[in-house]
Structure 1
């Protein structure tokens, strides 16, 4: 008859043999591989732009040029993912600085990128042969594998939030990149061409999309805010989101990028949302106003240009005494395409 000691010794020997042969017992890890509900190392996090981030950005501007760095960016690393250059498991976020007179050289990569303008007026980004001038609150698209460069012809620093699907592409081992032969790409279309063709509820009659990305280059904040104002005057407030809109690809009605969903929401003055959670970890950038968010039990007090993140399946609520506008992005399109996305709304 075997004893507990001998059984344990045989099991330990068996596990050791499995390890040497590149195998492992599922029964030891099934509960973590197939959890009853989402578990994540991603933590609630908040970055104070004016008092913490901006001073470091300007210091970086004194230490290294945009050309030397190729992209002068401070990565926003989630405290639960330190060393991985990630703000969530699937998304990267960073704040990029272009000083007056600088150019960030042309390059392209397989990662999709968004630019949400945080500070400054009059700098530009050029994408696939067309420039667009950037202003605070603008949402600018850089589809994957398109040449893009940035420049600042204004007299003030320009800062924007970069959001990319770098961790997702890295997980799939599908990353490619190229550097351009010149700092600035050749322009083949006048500024505003993409908006004229695709952003006015019209499409060229024989045009067919050849990618899953939106053909619109810039979603200007002046139009976005007008939409929010009109909706807020004519529609009821959603108890969980305030007035929330999603940016769309006009050719498909889907997300502007296949891997990143983008949203804008207005919290009316005195608004207190009800509890809500979803499986897409979400990055928020404060456009206007002040307020508080309680996420996963942690309370965050935010103001314009701050950035914060809500992990997957963490209960969250938002409130603003004077009213606020929040931009956000997440990996929702990927989860929806795979049939994984879920949401839950409180019933009390």
Structure 2
């Protein structure tokens, strides 16, 4: 047993540390550099999911398991540095969801915020809080936290979209709740397009309803987004790090569309080579148009194709090249959390 007269030089440290452990104590001097590192050290690694390899596996899943059995027929994009954790980065979840003609993904709700980015197919739809929206390629559809939502398919071919959620963040905070709806499909109480007309047309109700922090516009159509990018390409300066990069916003307050997930769209003009950039946010990129190349410092360049997904963990220097044609990429990240906590740091070469 140690006494107050002992000094660090006379104590047998391993025995002392064992005494501490038995009392649920630990010496900070042994752990300080791990707790407070000199710079961010994500466990996730950069990784590329190629659409031509992933899509056949999704279609196999469509033959192997029904939507009723699966509830959500999704292949999780699991980062090699986070095996078994169902995470694409240290703070983000992503998966590719398939729904076949006539199927229903039953209604439920959860405290995790979600986004759907439409990749392939015609006839798929999501219903959120009593309003249905048909999904087209490139559309961004939001599912605010704790809102009823279900998915369906009125078309005749497979429909696939990317799911992005803040599951790791919510789970870390031990704030996750989930509830199943009594019916497979919720009752629709609003006409399709209601939220976009009410909040997304440069107009707002004079008397505003009670709102959550998530945008009341839950479908951001790609047709409108693409048109805006075309105009900006002709009239705006191009950021040498980000290209023409715009964020999806909540029209009520000008904040990010989702409080925990930062969603952006960027256009890289033909022949554009960005300079190296890094920030503390971790991000997931999805190619909509073109075949850009992503270069993460210290790794071989990766050529991306349409619908390919690429994960860039935080604080890794990276850049993009767009050689033979314009490239358009959607991304989502944990940037809003970094901003709100005063933790965001960027480095521009």
TM-score by length of 2: 0.96
Deviation at 1:310, TM superposition (A): 0.8
* 2:332 counterpart (329, 333, 336): 329
Aligned residue in 2 for 1:65: 66
User: 1:27 maps to what in 2?
Assistant: 29
> Which of 44, 48, 56 matches 1:42?
44
Task: Kindly indicate whether residue 187 of structure 2 is the aligned counterpart of residue 186 of structure 1.
Answer: yes
d(CA) in 1 for partners of 2:10, 2:122: 68
- Between the aligned partners of 1:245 and 1:180, the Cα distance in structure 2 is 36
**If the length of structure 1 is used for normalisation, what is the TM-score?**
0.96
Question: How far apart in 2 are the matches of 1:277 and 1:232?
Answer: 24
Deviates more, 1:205-214 or 1:74-83: 205-214
Counterpart in 2 of 1:300?
A: 302
Instruction: For 2:251 and 2:151, locate their aligned partners in 1 and report how far apart those are by CA, in whole Å.
Output: 25
C-alpha contact 2:101 2:155 (8 A) present in aligned 1: yes
Shift of 1:323: 1.6
Residue 147 in structure 1 maps to residue 152 in structure 2: no
Deviation readout 1:270-297 (Å, 9 max, x if unpaired): 0100111010011000000002111132
- In the alignment, which residue of structure 1 is the partner of 2:4? none
Moved more, 128-137 or 28-37: 28-37
Q: Give the whole-Å Cα distance in 1 for the aligned partners of 2:39 and 2:287.
A: 29
Check the 8 A contact 1:209/1:251 in 2, yes or no: no
For residues 278-336 of structure 1, what are the alpha-carbon distances to aligned partners after superposition, in whole Å with 9 as ceiling and x for unaligned? 10011000000002111132221100000001111100010011120000000000110
**Where in structure 2 are the equivalents of 1:198-347 lying within 5 Å?**
198-298=199-299, 299-321=301-323, 322-346=325-349
Q: Can you list the C-alpha shifts for 1:24-44, whole angstroms capped at 9, x where unaligned? A: 111111112111111111100
Secondary structure class of the residue paired with 2:12: helix
Q: 2:121 corresponds to which residue?
A: 120
* CA offsets 1:50-97 (integer angstroms, 9 cap, x no match): 2x1101100100011112111000000111111111011111000000
**What residue number does 1:106 align with?**
107
The alignment of Structure 1 onto Structure 2 pairs a total of residues equal to 340
Shift of 1:210: 2.4
CA RMSD of aligned residues (A): 1.1
SS of 1:181 mapped into structure 2 = coil
Once the 2 structures are TM-superposed, how far is the Cα of residue 9 of structure 1 from its aligned partner?
6.5
Checking the alignment, whether the CA contact within 8 Å between 2:72 and 2:97 is kept in structure 1 is yes
- List alignment gaps of at least 5 residues for structure 1: 1-5
TM-fit CA distance, 1:208: 4.2
In 2, the alpha carbon distance for the partners of 1:231 and 1:278 equals 25
Q: CA deviation at 1:8?
A: 8.0
